[in-house]
Amino acid sequence: MPRRKRMRKVVAPPGFRGYKPYGSRHGQKEHVDLHYEEYEAIKLADYDLMNHLEASRLMGVSRATFARVYESARRKIARALVETREIRSVFGHAILDQSWFVCNECQARFNIPHNHVGRHCPICKGKNIHSIKEQL
Amino acid sequence: MNTLISSTGNDLDSGFDLRFGRAGWFCLLNEETGETTFFENENKDASHGAGTKAAEKVVELGADRVISGDFGPRAKELLEKFNIQMVLLTDDSKSIADIIDTIK
């Protein structure tokens, strides 16, 4: 079993489900899957103009991992443009910021869906939890 | 409240399974009565879509919460849609009984 991927924090998911080329002479090709964390990497580095270290802290990964995610994102976008492929946004290894929490007692990670009441840890029932965003 | 826990075997002494879609068994716990039922995961060796199928099973069994090690992107999306709480634990040395004890 390969080492599991750490979750990458994403503040907001992309506001689109995909991008499609138009005016292309070629028929439909296989699409490129752009992960949420890759979108976030592009956004932080090239739209919010952060340096990689700041951006990596925000996403909860090391600077080197951030650089890898960012590189993969750029390559996918380049591939889509050059090969006139559709881009689709897919979940990937992201956790969305607001809805995910960590329990300080038992380290369980969990989300709280809208219809659940109370902000406590589902495992140890502790109230000592924080949203992954507050960890920064 | 019903909780589903991914398990490696079909009794309370079996270990917690970190995989969700490819877990061997699922343990459904009724938190009010403390009753547990084990379901075999028939899709554990599926070539694809095991996570999605497992998530569908969760919905079908009427669980409100799932405890596992990790969820794939599609299972996550589905569970989110049905307002099912996902709990991620990283310690696979625990048995199902241990986990049930801690959530009681």
Tokens at B29, concatenated: 């716990």
Average pLDDT of each block of 10 consecutive residues along chain A (136 residues)? Answer: 76 81 82 92 91 89 94 96 91 72 82 78 84 53
Q: What angle do CA A123, B13, A112 make, to 5 degrees?
A: 20
Distance from CA of B40 to the nearest CA of A (A): 22
Per-residue pLDDT tens over the stretch A10-19: 877 787 888 9
Distance from CA of A77 to the nearest CA of B (A): 20
Per-residue pLDDT tens over the stretch A78-92: 999 999 999 998 877
Query: Using CB atoms, which residue from A4, A112, A124 is nearest to B85?
Result: A112
Residue in chain B closest to A101 (alpha carbons) equals B87
Residue in chain B closest to A112 (alpha carbons) equals B85
Q: Are A59 and A66 in contact (CB under 8 A)?
A: yes
Give the H/E segment covering residue B30: strand B25-30
Q: What angle do CA A118, A124, A130 make, to 5 degrees?
A: 55
A-chain residues within 8 Å CB-CB of B88? 108-110
Position A53, amino acid: L
ipTM given for this complex: 0.81
Q: Across the interface, do B102 and A106 touch by the CB < 8 Å criterion?
A: yes
Residue in chain B closest to A120 (alpha carbons) equals B103
Among B33, B35, B34, B44, CA closest to B9: B44
